[in-house]
Amino acid sequence: MKKRSKWIMRWLSRLVTFTLFATLLFMVFVVISSKASGGEPQVLGYQLKSVLSGSMEPGIKTGSIIAIKPGGDMKGFEKGDVITFQTEENLLITHRIIDVTKSGENVLYETKGDNNDAADREPVLSQNVIGEYTGFTVPYIGYLISFAQSKEGSALLLILPGVLLLGYAGFTIWQTISQLDARSKKGALAKQEETTES
């Protein structure tokens, strides 16, 4: 029974260490890639964007991150595609195309959020499209990424996992030393008993 509980404790210890280390690496990646790209992080050529409004619910939840594929032919989207575009106020919006208008060289997209009652007021010029939504979304992580992009968030998210990892390493070392100390005391007591018996 003791061996089993020691085995479980050892695996729990390894799991906690791995989780803290993985969190630290993920936070370092998020912060560095955000700063390097001047905005949202990129993974394998896909940009990760934070969604901080409910205009596309229930498909895309508020606070999610989504992956968009940047580049390509921005004039080739069709009705039903979900695109991310930039407004005149430099806001990024992800909405569904409900109509496409071609006028010579120009392509205009009429867009609407799935959860909105009406279409967006202004049509989107193809040159303002950043990329197409790929269907990949992770709920609630967008809040974390937005926080990570702030100065306070960058500092906290880099420091906190490191401090936790160091604290946990200190605790593990203290626990090991305590166990070694207990063993040496047991050994000294056993030797003392042997000496008294002889």
pLDDT of residue 184: 78
For residues 178-197, average pLDDT: 72
Place of tokens 């990570």: 148
**What is the CB neighbour count within 10 angstroms for residue 80?**
8
Q: How does residue 7 score in pLDDT terms, banded at 50, 70 and 90?
A: confident
| pLDDT, tens digit, 9 for 90 and up, residues 14-56 | 787 777 777 767 766 666 665 555 555 666 778 878 888 889 9
pLDDT over threshold 60, residue 127: yes
Per-residue pLDDT, 11: 81
pLDDT at 95: 95
Instruction: Say how many C-beta atoms besides its own lie within 10 A of residue 182's C-beta.
Output: 10
10-14, 101-105, 142-146: lowest mean pLDDT where? Answer: 142-146
Q: What is the pLDDT of residue 94?
A: 93
Taking alpha carbons only, the member of 95, 89, 92 closest to residue 114 is 95
Rounded to whole angstroms, how far apart are CA atoms 14 and 112? 48
Q: Which residues pair with 110 in a beta bridge?
A: 99
Enumerate residues 6+ apart whose C-beta is below 8 A from 102.
108
Residue carrying structure tokens 């070392």: 173
- Give the number of residues written for the chain: 198
What domains can you pick out in the chain, each with its CATH number? 2-159 (2.10.109.10)
pTM of the model: 0.58
What the block records as the tokens of 160 is 């906190």
Q: Which helix (H) or strand (E) holds 151?
A: helix 151-197
Is pLDDT above 60 for 198?
no
What is the Cβ-side half-sphere exposure of residue 42, based on CA atoms within 13 angstroms?
A: 11
61-107, pLDDT tens digit by residue?
A: 888 888 898 877 888 899 999 999 998 888 889 999 999 998 888 89
Report the chain's mean pLDDT, rounded to a whole number: 80
CA neighbor of 17 nearest in space, from 166, 179, 174: 166
In terms of pLDDT, which residue wins out, 77 or 161?
Answer: 77
Read off the tokens for 35.
């700063």
Annotated catalytic sites, by residue?
53
pLDDT at residue 31, as a whole number: 61
Q: Output the pLDDT for position 61.
A: 87
